[in-house]
Amino acid sequence: RSKYEKYLKVKKLFKLFTISVPRTLTGGLYEINNFLYYIPDYDIDSYYEKDTGFKRIEETSIVF
């Protein structure tokens, strides 16, 4: 079987655990590649609220 065929078998399940997040909010997430990131189970509360979704905490910098 090709990788694509294998993906098609798990696609529906995979999408249950996938969200889209603006690139500006991916700082601090664990990067798999340039467009795919993940949050380990032990860190999920830092980035995700069950009722409201992804926490929109943008990194800020102070310039003096």
What is the per-residue pLDDT across 8-64, written as a single tens digit (0 to 9) for each?
889 888 888 888 888 888 888 888 888 888 889 898 898 889 898 888 765 554 555
Cα gap 4→16, rounded to integer Å? 18
Place of tokens 């249950």: 16
Give pTM, 2 decimals: 0.57
Amino acid (one-letter) located at 33:
N
- At 56, list the tokens: 């929109």
DSSP state of 17: T
pLDDT number for residue 42: 92
